[in-house]
């Protein structure tokens, strides 16, 4: 009869550890903290350009690699966004390759111990019906509310029509709303008219 | 993807070794003191920690770790296969506690799975779905430029001669080949262009860039279609022989500014050519 308990303890422990770490390393579950975001959407007659700046923090005293998924707002009336680009803005600017796997766009970023990263994600979406939405509810899996969120619409040859989040006009052709301690319960939906 | 391959290989190695009873057999064969066993455990934990940190540091590290784990997994699978067949044939003392079907089962799971994960590290290296010119964004940008260039060329020709003429490689305007060559030089670009000057139409398709089979089924890639309307259409495919068509959803539309910019480039190239000839 083979010895069982002791010889299986270490590999069994490692197997359990690996299974526990798998969702984190694949980005299915967060290991870093998502602290703030600034979303700037430029609205044109037939398309929008989304420019998102996201702030993350590694709370651990050792380096980690976090996988991120990029949720894209698409349905039968809103085709898949394109020109998706991801960049680390700070501390050291660099481009992050975007991959498409198992139906989702994503990227990975390596964090040094206790490091904070500012990451920019951009995309362009064709919007023939002059309405669009930005997915906010994916904040929930991060389990903590955003410390701060700033959301801006700037209109180019267009004018503001509707938004499910109340907006404040900050300048000509620019509207925004801000939240602190923000755990969104619904996505941000907005529409526009074409300026004459 | 490399992280997925790395974790899968690691988990397969551990789980199949446990299934096959590998660790128990190794322990039976190596009669060591408890102190040496403790040292081995600590050394193993330290090694695992260093490997995890190294692979987390950057993509290249993850690739190397995955490859190393894959080789180790295949070697262990072959070892268990060997032990399993030995145990079936005779009863060597060292394997008297081995259960042949467990060893063989573990080997038959581990070897092909490890090979699959090794293949992932090759298929999903940056050259396929990662950085630079293989990125979706870069390819779309070049495709958009090419469609704009065709429209610009046709509009300039119409202004000059009253007839629409799209660009095709020709001896008359060899200096304009660079606009097409820039996109078709790389084998992976493979633009497919059809021109009908008489009716003022053209179509151009950019095939998808995918990893080799069977890994193409783990992902999908865009293929684009453009024509004289200035609309760029896209679908995602898993088969590189499948192309976008004229009824696909529009994802981008060229602006008049995009075409004017290309007109400027063409006129500049022609002026340079004329100056060179003087």
pLDDT, tens only, B39-64:
776 776 677 666 666 665 555 666 77
Q: Quick one: average pLDDT of A7-29?
A: 64
Strand partners, A125: A48
Query: Tell me: the pLDDT tens digits for B195-227?
Result: 888 888 999 998 888 888 888 888 888 999 999
Distance from CA of A23 to the nearest CA of B (A): 10
Tell me chain B's radius of gyration from C-alpha atoms: 29
Cβ separation of A95 and B17 shorter than 8 Å?
A: no
Query: Tell me: the pLDDT tens digits for A51-107?
Result: 999 999 999 898 888 888 899 999 999 999 999 999 999 999 998 888 887 788 888
* Secondary structure letter of residue A26 according to DSSP: T
Q: What is the rounded distance in angstroms from the CA atom of residue B96 to the CA atom of residue B92?
A: 6
* Mode of pairing for the β-strands spanning A131-134 and A188-194: antiparallel
What pLDDT does residue A1 have?
A: 37
pLDDT band per the 50, 70, 90 thresholds, residue A193: very high
Q: Are A101 and A34 in contact (CB under 8 A)?
A: no
How would you class B271 by CB atoms within 10 Å of its CB: exposed for 0-12, middle for 13-18, buried for 19 or more? Answer: exposed
Chain B residues touching A97 at Cβ < 8 A: 126, 129-131, 135
Q: Which token pair is A94?
A: 């660099």
Cβ separation of B234 and A79 shorter than 8 Å?
A: yes
| pLDDT for residue A118 is more than 70 | yes
Reduced to 3 states (helix: H, G, I; strand: E, B; else coil), residue A126 is strand
Query: Tell me: the pLDDT tens digits for B230-274?
Result: 999 999 999 988 999 999 999 999 999 999 999 998 899 888 888
pLDDT band per the 50, 70, 90 thresholds, residue A132: very high
What pLDDT does residue B178 have?
A: 61
Q: Are A27 and A66 in contact (CB under 8 A)?
A: yes
Distance from CA of B161 to the nearest CA of A (A): 33
What residue of A is the nearest CA neighbor of B144?
A: A83
Chain A residues touching B41 at Cβ < 8 A: 10
| pLDDT for residue B182 is more than 60 | no
Nearest by CB to residue A18, choosing from B14, B236, B252, is B14
What pLDDT does residue B65 have?
A: 78
Cβ separation of A99 and B14 shorter than 8 Å?
A: no
What pLDDT does residue A155 have?
A: 97
Nearest by CB to residue A85, choosing from B10, B126, B137, is B137
What pLDDT does residue B52 have?
A: 64
Chain B residues touching A99 at Cβ < 8 A: 1, 124, 129-130, 219
pLDDT band per the 50, 70, 90 thresholds, residue A4: very low
pLDDT band per the 50, 70, 90 thresholds, residue A36: very high
Sign of CA dihedral B150, B155, B157, B163: positive
Q: Quick one: average pLDDT of A26-31?
A: 70
What pLDDT does residue B248 have?
A: 96
Query: Taking an 8 Å Cβ-Cβ cutoff, which residues of chain A contact chain B?
Result: 1-4, 6-8, 10-12, 14-15, 18-19, 21-22, 25-26, 46-47, 62-65, 67, 79-85, 95, 97-103, 108, 110, 124, 126, 128
Nearest by CB to residue B56, choosing from A12, A22, A64, is A64
- Length in residues, chain B: 278
Cβ separation of A99 and B24 shorter than 8 Å?
A: no
* Contact residues for A85 (Cβ-Cβ < 8 A; gap 6+): A95, A98, A120, A121, A122, A123, B137
Chain A residues touching B221 at Cβ < 8 A: 100
Chain A residues touching B28 at Cβ < 8 A: 2-3
Mean pLDDT for all residues in chain A? 87
Q: Quick one: average pLDDT of B82-87?
A: 79
| pLDDT for residue A45 is more than 80 | yes
Cβ separation of B129 and A97 shorter than 8 Å?
A: yes
Q: What is the rounded distance in angstroms from the CA atom of residue A26 to the CA atom of residue A10?
A: 24
* Contact residues for B64 (Cβ-Cβ < 8 A; gap 6+): B54, B55
- What are the φ/ψ torsions at residue A71 (nearest 5 degrees)? -75, 130
Cβ separation of A80 and B251 shorter than 8 Å?
A: yes
Cβ separation of A65 and B62 shorter than 8 Å?
A: yes
Q: Quick one: average pLDDT of A163-190?
A: 94
| pLDDT for residue B132 is more than 60 | no
Q: Which ipTM did the prediction report? A: 0.83
In 10 A of CB B159, how many CB atoms? 9
Helix B34-57 crosses helix B59-89 at what angle (to 10 degrees)?
140
Max CA-CA distance within chain B? 93
Distance from CA of B197 to the nearest CA of A (A): 29
With a pLDDT cut of 70, the percent of chain B lying above it is: 73
Cβ separation of A82 and B21 shorter than 8 Å?
A: no
């Amino acid at each position: 009869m083979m010895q069982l308990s002791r010889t299986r303890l270490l590999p069994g422990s490692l197997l359990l550890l690996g299974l526990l770490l798998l969702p984190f390393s694949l980005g299915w579950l967060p290991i870093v903290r998502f602290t703030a975001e600034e979303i700037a959407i430029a609205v044109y007659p037939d398309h929008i350009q989304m420019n998102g700046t996201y702030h993350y923090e590694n709370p651990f005293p050792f380096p980690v690699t976090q996988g991120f998924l990029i949720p894209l707002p698409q349905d039968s009336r809103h085709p898949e966004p394109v020109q998706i680009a991801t960049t680390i803005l700070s501390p050291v600017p660099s481009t992050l390759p975007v991959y498409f796997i198992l139906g989702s766009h994503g990227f990975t970023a390596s964090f040094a111990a206790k490091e904070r990263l500012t990451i920019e994600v951009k995309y362009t979406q064709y919007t023939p019906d002059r309405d669009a939405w930005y997915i906010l509810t994916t904040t929930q899996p991060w389990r903590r509310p955003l410390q701060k969120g700033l959301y801006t619409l700037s209109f180019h040859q267009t004018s503001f029509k509707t938004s499910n989040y109340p907006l404040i006009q900050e300048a000509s052709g620019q509207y925004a709303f801000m939240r602190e301690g923000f755990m969104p319960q619904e996505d941000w939906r907005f529409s526009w008219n074409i300026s004459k | 993807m490399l992280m997925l391959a790395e974790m899968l290989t690691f988990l397969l190695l551990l789980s199949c070794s446990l299934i096959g009873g590998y660790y128990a057999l190794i322990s039976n064969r190596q009669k060591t003191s408890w102190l040496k066993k403790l040292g081995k455990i600590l050394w193993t934990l330290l090694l695992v920690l260093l490997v995890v940190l190294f692979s987390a540091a950057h993509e290249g590290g993850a690739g190397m770790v995955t490859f190393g784990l894959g080789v180790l997994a295949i070697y262990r699978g072959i070892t268990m296969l060997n032990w399993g067949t030995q145990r079936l044939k005779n009863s060597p003392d060292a394997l008297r506690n081995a259960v042949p079907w467990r060893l063989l089962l573990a080997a038959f799971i581990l070897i092909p799975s490890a090979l699959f994960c090794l293949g992932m590290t090759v298929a999903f290296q940056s050259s396929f779905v990662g950085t630079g010119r293989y990125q979706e964004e870069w390819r779309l940008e070049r495709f958009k430029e090419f469609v704009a260039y065709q429209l610009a060329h046709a509009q300039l020709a119409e202004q000059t001669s009253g007839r629409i003429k799209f660009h095709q490689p020709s001896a008359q305007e060899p200096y304009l080949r660079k606009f097409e060559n820039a996109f078709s030089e790389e084998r992976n670009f493979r633009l497919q262009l059809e021109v009908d000057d008489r009716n003022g139409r053209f179509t151009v398709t950019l095939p998808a860039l995918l990893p080799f089979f069977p890994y193409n089924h783990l992902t999908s890639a865009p293929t684009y279609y453009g024509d004289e309307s200035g609309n760029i259409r896209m679908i995602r495919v898993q088969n590189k022989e499948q192309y976008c068509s004229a009824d696909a959803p529009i994802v981008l539309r060229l602006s008049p500014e995009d075409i004017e910019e290309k007109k400027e480039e063409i006129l500049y190239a022609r002026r340079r050519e004329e100056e060179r000839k003087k």
